[in-house]
A and B are shown apart, each in its own frame.
Chain A
Amino acid sequence: MVASSHESEVATGGFYLLGLLTRVLVAFQDFLFLSGRAFANLFRRPHYYDDVALQMDIIGVGSLSIVILVGAFSGAIIALQMARALNTYGAASQVGTIVSLTLVRELGPVLTAIIVAGRNASGIASELGSMKVTEQIDAMRALGTDPVQKLVTPRLTATAVMLPCLTVIADAVGSVGAYLVSVPLLHIIPTEQYWSTFWRALVVNDLAQGLGKPFVFGMIIAMVGCHYGLRTTGGTQGVGRATTQAVVVSSIWIFVVTFFFDKIFVNLS
């Protein structure tokens, strides 16, 4: 009797895991189909240029202030921490190099992407989710508009273009933040030395990483936001769930992709 109950529990657990795995695979398949259609629409008429411009404004200009703020402080924090650590080894003069490599290669792209994911993946998911639960997506289809063409492709284009731009701004502001800490505040290095070590540390590989990552992150953020938005069910509660999932999943993807990106570029260098 006890054994039979245990077997039944194991079987139930097995079915639950199988069901969960199936749902994850189906969701990933839907994500790939949606991404495929969104990319194909880049080369198919009609093109909604107004929507692309509007999304660029919302995603790019809208995120500018927070990106500048976070960029400046992250640069300042790196300089503060590195100055102490480098001083221990008598290598304080290398602070520009460290800040440059850390910001351009990793922190600039990743922090900017995380900010944009928190702000825009959630925004995209909640906007599209609300449209889904209030039949606006069906209305769009009924009126003869492809929702992927009208809603997803412009968001994909706008995020993929704006995120590298925001990252460059974050890097620039971060380098100034680090400069302010290293030179006027801590006096560990002269101005000329800071900027010359900062620039000299960068090679093409670093710039390719610094711009390639945000381009890929932008596509991930837009597609994950749209994916969760368009599969929203269950009214306003469903919209909240989709929003949370979009932020969590896009943030996880950013870190996973960073790892593989780094693996490729480290091998290349």
Chain B
Amino acid sequence: MAEQPILAFRDVNLQYGDTWALRNVSLVLRPGETRIILGAAGSGKTCLLKAAIGLVHVDGGEISLFGEDVTRDRETDLFALRSRAGFVFQEGGLFDSLSVGENVEYPLLNQRLSGHQNNSGSERSIEDRVREALRFVELERTFDKFPSEISGGMRRRVGIARAIVTEPPLVLYDSPTAGLDPITANTIMALIAKERDVRNSASLIVTHRYQDGEIMDKFFYDAARQELVPLGECADTDPKRNRTRFIVMKEGQVVFFGTRLELEACDDLYVKRFVHHED
């Protein structure tokens, strides 16, 4: 029997004036699955991500998050639900008046204050969990620094640490590699793949870089070797490989949904623009 979806969109529509931000969008995401969302600027990728946790209110359709319909809930009812998901903003979205440690600590304190605490890991102290999350993104030494004192790539990694510190079953990434050099971008994607494979979390990743999707699709994190390893040629049968799907959006519509191989084979001119072909 198929696992219950963590996130499901059913015919979701959102319009700003005459422009469609989301048009009849449907998708399902289950634990451990990854969706890579590609598309031109203004095609509705970030809107889709924000709609998933009710940050923007849609005009029609249904969005189910952890089994609850976020389109019907009021803003004040959504906070508890949102605190169960992780969200990485394009620029990190860090609180600039808080140190790195305090930023990562924030979701844990928020859960404790609001009484939405996860059971997992709650027996450990908050500082231990913060340090563990920062160690996960290899930034433990920045604990006392402020966001303005670290580089753009480091801010993204702190953003990832803040998103995963509560060990959420779903993490949403809004262009986590935008504006970064290829080496830093690959480091970020390696961390995202590690998070997915270590915790079996579902990931929804908005990106402009096809390579980001390739990393998620072709590699998995080997906990024993503590590094990303390729799935190999015979990996088509590996269930881990089959859990990454690509979505291409155009003017609010999903114009492609499928595997990496299907994406590379697609003849559509718009879709082909987002595929990097190796010669």
> Cβ of A191 < 8 Å from any Cβ of B?
no
Closest residue of A by beta carbon distance from B95: A136
> Cβ of A234 < 8 Å from any Cβ of B?
no
**Interchain CA distance A135-B82 in the complex, whole Å:** 16
Closest residue of B by beta carbon distance from A140: B95
- A136→B83 contact, CB < 8 A: no
Chain B residues with CB under 8 Å of A138's CB are 50, 55, 89, 93
> Cβ of A185 < 8 Å from any Cβ of B?
no
> Cβ of A143 < 8 Å from any Cβ of B?
yes
User: B139-180 vs A: 1/0 string, CB under 8 Å?
Assistant: 000000000000000000000001000000000000000000
> Cβ of B91 < 8 Å from any Cβ of A?
yes
- A134→B91 contact, CB < 8 A: yes
> Cβ of A146 < 8 Å from any Cβ of B?
yes
Q: Among B53, B90, B114, B115, which residue has its beta carbon within 8 angstroms of that of A135?
A: B90
Closest residue of A by beta carbon distance from B85: A142
Closest residue of B by beta carbon distance from A47: B113
- A144→B93 contact, CB < 8 A: no
- A46→B96 contact, CB < 8 A: no
Closest residue of A by beta carbon distance from B111: A144
Give the size category of B's interface with A. 20 to 34
- B87→A146 contact, CB < 8 A: no
- B110→A144 contact, CB < 8 A: yes
- A141→B96 contact, CB < 8 A: no
Q: Among B96, B114, B162, which residue has its beta carbon within 8 angstroms of that of A144?
A: B114
**Interchain CA distance A136-B92 in the complex, whole Å:** 9
User: B116-127 vs A: 1/0 string, CB under 8 Å?
Assistant: 100000000000
Chain A residues 127 to 173 lying within 8 A of chain B, measured CB to CB, are 130-131, 134-136, 138-146
Chain A residues with CB under 8 Å of B162's CB are 143
**Interchain CA distance A130-B94 in the complex, whole Å:** 12
**Interchain CA distance A195-B224 in the complex, whole Å:** 83
> Cβ of B66 < 8 Å from any Cβ of A?
no
Chain A residues with CB under 8 Å of B90's CB are 135
Return A130 CB to nearest CB of chain B, in Å: 8
Chain A residues with CB under 8 Å of B53's CB are 142
Closest residue of B by beta carbon distance from A40: B76
Closest residue of B by beta carbon distance from A146: B79
**Interchain CA distance A48-B110 in the complex, whole Å:** 10
Chain A residues 226 to 266 lying within 8 A of chain B, measured CB to CB, are none
> Cβ of B101 < 8 Å from any Cβ of A?
no
Chain A residues with CB under 8 Å of B95's CB are 131, 136, 139-140
- A136→B96 contact, CB < 8 A: yes
**Interchain CA distance A135-B114 in the complex, whole Å:** 22
Return B243 CB to nearest CB of chain A, in Å: 24
Chain A residues with CB under 8 Å of B44's CB are none
- Supply 26 A–B pairs (Cβ within 8 Å), ascending by A: A45-B114, A45-B115, A131-B95, A134-B91, A134-B93, A134-B96, A135-B90, A135-B93, A138-B55, A138-B89, A138-B93, A139-B93, A139-B95, A140-B95, A141-B55, A142-B82, A143-B83, A143-B87, A143-B107, A144-B84, A144-B107, A144-B111, A144-B116, A145-B79, A145-B83, A146-B76
